[in-house]
A and B are shown apart, each in its own frame.
Chain A
Amino acid sequence: MNDTKALLNELQKSVQVRDVQRGTEILSKIKIAILQGSSSSEQLAIGASALELGVLLAVVAGDLNAFARNMAQLRPSYSRGVQSERKCHVLGLNLMFLLVENRLSEFHAELELLSEKEATNVFISFPIQLERQLMVGSYDEVLSAHSRIPDTSYDFFMENLLETVRDSIADCVEVSYKEMKIEDAMKMMKFDSPQRLLGYVEESRDDWIIEGKSICFQPAISGSKASDIPSMKLIDQSLTYATEMERII
């Protein structure tokens, strides 16, 4: 028991120092010790803390698989009622993770499990607000949210999110504008300099034509093609009607 506590302290120190390798070693030792030890409530609490630190470590290391694994192991401890100060932090990180991976149904299922007090905690309200802004489409608030993150561990997810957001903004801009000046485009997509914008355009947006100081978006060619008619679906529907009518008659 005492040596697990000592190991826990070591783990905490290595998380603070961001020493990934040492941290993972200690974490595996703790896990083995927990398995062998008794399942008293104190052991459970130590196990839960160890897993939480493991989660934070995974964020530092940028290892999403380890993150998901540790979260899955933490889940039963939480449902059994283990309390800890880092709970909201870890749950918030989990929400960010689901948001970035675009697993919205699981995101909402997680929201259901939160009590009201937890939902007002800044760690958790941040991803909730973010999701709402993404749905509504006020991307400028998303981009400026970077200044509001509650903890540095969210940085990792924010970067991924920014990439996705930038792609979405580019899509929207393409469809809704005829042309746009380069400075405005820079501001909208939060690029620091025109070169970065041009680089982005070159690598993923071929159909944007750059004329001097403005970008021109080609209107989509909206001719009617044979593939526009969803023929398979229509055939399917008509066949069902025919079979059902046969049955009646």
Chain B
Amino acid sequence: MTADEPKKEAESTVDKKEKEEDPGPPPIPPLEAAARRLDRLLGGDAKTIHSYTNPAKVIRRWLGTASGAASDATMEKISSAAASLLNPEGACAEGGGLLTVDEKMMDIDDEKPKFLTAASEREVEVWLLTLKIRIYWKENNFSEAFKLSQKTIDIVSKHIDTATRNVTNASRPTTSSLFPLLARLYRYRSLVADSNPQMAMSLRGDMIKSHSLASLRRDVDSQATLLNLMMHDLLNVSQVEQAQKLLANSTFPDSASNNQFCRYLYHSGRIQSLRLEYTSAFSNLSQCLRKAPNNTGLGFRITAQRLLVVVQLLMGEIPDRHIFLVPSMRAELAPYMAITQAVRRGDLSVFAAAVSEHAARLQADATYTLISRLAHQVVKAGLRKLHVSYSRISLQDVADRLGLPSATSAEFVVAKAVRDGVLDATIYHEEGYVRSHDLVDVYATQEPATAFHRRIAYCLTTHNDAVRGMRYPPDAYKKQLESSRGNRKNRGDDKTDEEKAQELEDELEDEY
């Protein structure tokens, strides 16, 4: 992935810098190094600040490279970095105050501390605050983390408001650089609130307001993050109808990051599976699994895979065995494998036993209600097996095989299955048996066409997505054009493409 290479580059430059400076002044701590890098990137050292067309993109890339420094930050490192980077009299006084802990201040070096310029100080301030929140969360200090995150969000909103009002040469013309950090803040805040349902309830109204603000400001990151957070929140309290309404009334921004899109697909898949729309749930969840990153997020992938297995069972397909045997997911998916085997056997009593055995686990996974809908599928699978293997079978035997209470209920069940098109048979009531008809040739029906259509549709969507996702470096086509122009110069022909097209048109007209 593109974020990985600059990250390795950044770490090697940090190392090199430390090696260079070892004999000299002490090495710059990694947090400071990352912050100063951002300062350079955003052009803080230049005489005039040139504005990037998309500072948000710069910030996103920088966040990826700085995550190495961020992962082993501690409170002291953060406060020392804040003390040396943020001007206490500048625009970031509030944030700086929150960051520096009033311990015994270290002796100030002889040189004056070099504060960050206006180009990047707000971003660095917010970034350091997010690191602090993360540390609080890891220590399970939820109330502190929550308070700090609320304050930080207020600070950021104030920055954005002041920046949009005073657009001068000295300040940043656009404020979109703060947006990725804002999205991160929302995410941390909800993470913290997850631990406490009261907190979560108080956030709901606020999230909706922030979402509309974000859509107005064209803040794609916050919009996508907030949408996902709201759905996650509603699903946690099982408000399926409300989540469905949120899904129907909102649009997911196209240019959001891949990870957010992944989460969005997972949530919509979950909502659809709870509302019995299994085919769309299946396609959403399989797309989600495909887009999920391969090297991280194992927990997310396991959850999505579990849900996918259950949805497949509910649609009547039996998932393949090799899905369950992937080494990293094997232990987690073991109860689901047991249930799949019970469904395959088609025996209701075995299925009920398997479900009750793993009931606690299923409740924790929030798939218990979905699994309990599977009784119907068990019966269908069992009937299909009997239908294929017997040309004539007594109703009492059917009842025994399927674990049904009596022959009369078996009769009704078979009758319903015949009406649903699961099997093609006739019941002889007085003699008490079922006789199945000959199997119909599958190729004479619509089945192959629908199967092909599904696969073709999938290939075409993948192709379109790939085309949309490709990015060419902006100068490549110029190089090509110049080389071809160079050739033409040698031949003494200086026309551009448009002129050639015009000539062709004239020729065609002449021919008429």
**A residues within 8 Å of B by Cβ?**
104-106, 108-109, 111-113, 116, 132, 135-141, 168-169, 171-173, 175-178, 180-181, 184, 188, 230, 234, 237, 240-241, 244, 247-248
Contact = CB atoms under 8 A, between A and B. Distances in A.
A141 B376 CA distance: 15
A138 B412 contact: yes
Given A112-B240, A248-B463, A178 B426 contact: yes
Interface string B413-424: 111111100000
Contacts of A132: 372, 375-376
Contact of A139 (B276, B379, B412, B463): B412
B291 interface: no
B196 interface: no
Given A109-B240, A172-B418, A173-B415, A137 B379 contact: yes
A139 B276 CA distance: 22
A137 B415 CA distance: 8
A243 B363 CA distance: 47
Interface string B444-459: 0010010001001100
A106 B242 CA distance: 11
B50 interface: no
Contacts of B404: 138
Interface in B315-329: none
Contact of B375 (A135, A172, A240): A135
A157 B425 CA distance: 33
Contacts of B276: 104-105, 108
Nearest to B427: A176
A178 B241 CA distance: 45
Contacts of A141: 405, 409
Contacts, number: 100
B465 to A, nearest CB: 13
Given A132-B376, A137-B413, A176-B414, 20 more contacts: A106-B241, A108-B276, A108-B369, A109-B244, A112-B369, A113-B240, A132-B372, A135-B373, A137-B412, A137-B416, A138-B412, A139-B412, A141-B409, A172-B416, A178-B426, A178-B428, A180-B429, A184-B430, A237-B453, A248-B463
* Those 9 A-B pairs whose CB atoms lie nearest each other, nearest first: A137-B416, A172-B415, A138-B409, A176-B418, A109-B240, A135-B376, A105-B275, A137-B413, A112-B238
B434 to A, nearest CB: 8
A116 B276 CA distance: 21
A215 B32 CA distance: 90
14 contacts: A108-B369, A109-B240, A112-B240, A113-B240, A116-B363, A132-B375, A136-B416, A139-B412, A140-B406, A169-B415, A172-B418, A230-B446, A237-B453, A248-B463
B460 interface: yes
A171 B379 CA distance: 19
B419 A172 contact: yes
Contacts of A177: 415, 426-429
Interface in B261-313: 274-277
B274 A109 contact: yes
Given A104-B276, A112-B369, A244-B460, A139 B240 contact: no
Contacts of B418: 172, 175-176
Contact of B413 (A138, A173, A244): A138
A131 B44 CA distance: 67
Interface in B431-476: 446, 449, 453, 456-457, 460, 463-464
Contacts of B464: 244, 247
Dominant SS among interface residues on chain B: helix
Contacts of B412: 137-140, 169, 172, 188
Interface string B205-236: 00000000000000000000000000000000
Interface of B: 238-241, 244, 274-277, 363, 369, 372-373, 375-376, 379, 404-406, 408-409, 412-419, 425-430, 446, 449, 453, 456-457, 460, 463-464
A159 B238 CA distance: 32
B456 A241 contact: yes
A109 B241 contact: yes
A180 B369 CA distance: 39
Nearest to A245: B460
A248 B463 CA distance: 9
A219 to B, nearest CB: 10
Contacts of B415: 137, 169, 172-173, 175-177
A130 to B, nearest CB: 13
A234 B453 CA distance: 10
A136 B429 contact: no
* Best-surrounded residue of B406, B409, B425 (most CB of chain A within 10 A): B409
Contact of B426 (A104, A112, A176, A181): A176
A169 B426 CA distance: 15
Contacts of B375: 132, 135-136
A137 B420 CA distance: 10
B429 A181 contact: yes
A240 B463 CA distance: 14
A141 B416 CA distance: 14
Contacts of B456: 241
Contacts of B241: 106, 109
Contacts of A188: 412
Contacts of A234: 449
B430 A140 contact: no
A247 B415 CA distance: 49
B413 A181 contact: no
A137 B417 contact: yes
Contacts of A178: 426, 428
A136 B377 CA distance: 8
Contacts of A173: 415
A184 B376 contact: no
Contacts of B416: 136-137, 139, 168, 172
B504 to A, nearest CB: 22
* Best-surrounded residue of B240, B415, B419 (most CB of chain A within 10 A): B415
A181 B239 CA distance: 50
Contacts of A105: 275-277
Contacts of B239: 113
A195 B238 CA distance: 50
A106 B241 CA distance: 8
Given A109-B240, A176-B426, A177-B429, A136 B413 contact: yes
A169 to B, nearest CB: 7
Nearest to A171: B419
* Best-surrounded residue of A111, A132, A136, A139 (most CB of chain B within 10 A): A136
* Best-surrounded residue of A105, A108, A141, A172 (most CB of chain B within 10 A): A172
Contacts of A136: 375-376, 379, 413, 416
Nearest to A128: B372
A54 B274 CA distance: 30
